[in-house]
Structure 1
Amino acid sequence: MSEVKLPNGWVHLILEDIADVYDNLREPVNSAERAKRLGPYPYYGATGQVGWIDD
């Protein structure tokens, strides 16, 4: 990884070292199903946020 200059006081960490990542447990939800389940949580696909979902 190339070095990136961070603001003073910031440190570079590996995401998996500081957070639990559960993406492997996620079940893809198609757009028709998401439309029936609108909610407060952002839903992300491969290209970024693609909608909102309830769970």
Structure 2
Amino acid sequence: MFARVENGEELSLFESGGRRTPQKQETHTLEAVKLVEFDLKQALTRLMRHLFGE
């Protein structure tokens, strides 16, 4: 998941002893949440452009 991120090998998808915040669930790191959010937004944008054009 972090292959395209600089220093991605230092990042983790899950964290131990995490806590739930308005931005994320307790088991996921904030970096993982932000990366998934970014990828999802890009995928949805590409889908809309494909379906409806620019």
Normalised TM-score (structure 2) = 0.23
Please identify the structure whose Cα radius of gyration is greater.
1
Higher helix share: 2
More strand, by proportion = 1
